[in-house]
Amino acid sequence: MESYHIRGGTPLHGEYQVKGAKNAALPILAAALCRGGIHEIYGCPEIGDASVMMNILRALGADCRREGNCLVVDSRQLTSAAVPHSLMSMLRSSVFLMGSLLMRTGEAVICRPGGCNIGSRPIDIHIDGLRHLGYTVTEDAEKVVCSGRCRGGKYVLPYPSVGATENLMMAALSGEGLTVLENCAMEPEIMDLQGFLRNCGFHVYGAGTGTIAVLGGKGTSDAMYFIMEDRIEAATYLMALAGTGGEGMLTGVRGGLLGSVLQVLENMGCRIRSFQDRIELVSSGRLRSPGTVSTAPYPGFPTDCQPQLMTLAACAAGETQICEGVFENRFTHKKELMKMGANIETCGKNAIIKGVDGLQGAEVCARDLRGGAALVLAGLMAEKETVVTGIQHIERGYEELEKGLRQLGGNIEKKSERKTEKTEESAAEAGCISTDHGSGSCVSVLPHV
């Protein structure tokens, strides 16, 4: 079992280069199947989720290999259109493969992704959209089987789902005519997926707005593509600087991608300057409450930054209200923060956080990716030592988080403890080793969101 051992109280300072975006890399890896070719993808972060997605591509017949900062995906030969059950249950985002497999082979079989710690995570919009585009989709408790071609036309998403937008963009490529998707998600990662598809010679327009137009076609070239920066990783590091009363510079990130987050940090008393490709933050020492913050689809405050904000609010002067407007169960970090002295009450999607003077170190357990990051930030802010277990959740989505924070002066170390009956029992009791999540037929060992 691995854990982070953190000694808090040191203001972070210095410079950090932001890495490639997990939530752009995953749909782009799936999209590498849309056109059979040898694609070069640069800037893919070295994280658990990307490794699982690469294994899925290999299981489908593609060849994937890392050459330095480049991921070479040879998708010329596919041998299957069925995503292996064992891998599907490890990576929810493999649901993106429905669209790319349908585009390439005219069929796709996935096992129904279960719920996870942050919500039930249904895929009804994905399925409804595919049917509207002309595909045949049959589903049971175990799996979803899709086949056919896109007949074009218009589909209005009932909710701007990021994954459904990305899936339908790829599925629409198989048509002969024009497909128009409305009420799409506008996250920057969707623009990155469009950029990759265009690099392959596909005709996709409008990503980043609510309306995306896709012209069916085969694609004309092998891609050479650079993945965008990870705006959520950047926000996490900015909040670490803010929460520890430090100051620093993030490079390789556009401030425009983080408008809502920068606004909240300024409301909390931070001084922020953002330039073409870097963001500078100077913390004001003790932060003040930002008042009420609601998470929402882009460009609203990102749900993926909500747990980290809760940690900052735990020590900010005043009372903060957070409304989690995207997922129905994204407060798994609350209990763990309270072990460290935070004063948090939750009711449904709302949380009230009364700022305390300081947090105390404790042994806490990460149960999901961003909730785990929030506990790391709390450890950096707390007195004495904090031990964060369940860090496999964190390492799915952050590349060497402990190394990056150490680079900014954080006192954080990754330690491995020999697995004994006792440690396993206590971890399972604390829910650190997830053996099953929610209703999904795929028993998730580590459902990745």
Q: Of 315-334, which residues contact ligand EPZ (CB under 6 A)?
A: 326-327
199 binds ligand EPZ (CB under 6 A): no
Spatial separation of the C-alpha atoms in residues 1 and 365, rounded to whole Å? 12
126 binds ligand EPZ (CB under 6 A): yes
Phi then psi for residue 154, to 5 deg, are -125, 145
Spatial separation of the C-alpha atoms in residues 129 and 132, rounded to whole Å? 5
Q: Annotated catalytic, 315?
A: no
Q: How many CB atoms lie within 10 A of CB 352?
A: 15
Going by DSSP bridges, is the β-strand pair 107-111/143-147 parallel, antiparallel, or unpaired? antiparallel
- Name the token pair of 196: 């990759």
Site string for ligand EPZ, 397-426 (x = CB under 6 A): x-----------------------------
Going by DSSP bridges, is the β-strand pair 271-274/278-282 parallel, antiparallel, or unpaired? antiparallel
Angle at CA 192, nearest 5°, toward 186 and 193?
90
15 binds ligand EPZ (CB under 6 A): no
113 binds ligand EPZ (CB under 6 A): no
> Which range in 20-28, 207-215, 219-227, 310-318 contacts ligand EPZ by CB under 6 A?
20-28
122 binds ligand EPZ (CB under 6 A): yes
CA trace torsion 335, 375, 372, 409 (10° rounding): 180
**Closer residue to ligand EPZ (CB): 157 or 382:** 157
125 binds ligand EPZ (CB under 6 A): yes
35 binds ligand EPZ (CB under 6 A): no
Phi then psi for residue 107, to 5 deg, are -150, 160
121 binds ligand EPZ (CB under 6 A): yes
Q: How many CB atoms lie within 10 A of CB 345?
A: 11
> Which range in 131-139, 161-169, 359-367, 438-446 contacts ligand EPZ by CB under 6 A?
161-169
How many residues contact ligand EPZ, by CB under 6 A? 25
Which of 34, 111, 116, 315 is labelled catalytic?
116
Going by DSSP bridges, is the β-strand pair 292-294/319-323 parallel, antiparallel, or unpaired? parallel
Judged by CB under 6 A, the residue of 93, 236, 332, 389 near ligand EPZ is 93
Spatial separation of the C-alpha atoms in residues 100 and 29, rounded to whole Å? 10
159 binds ligand EPZ (CB under 6 A): yes
> Which range in 124-132, 194-202, 214-222, 378-386 contacts ligand EPZ by CB under 6 A?
124-132
Cα–Cα distance list, 65 to 39, 59, 196 (Å)? 11, 13, 18
Residues that bind ligand EPZ (CB under 6 A): 22-23, 26, 93, 119, 121-126, 159, 161-164, 185, 303-304, 326-327, 369-370, 397, 449
Catalytic residues: 116
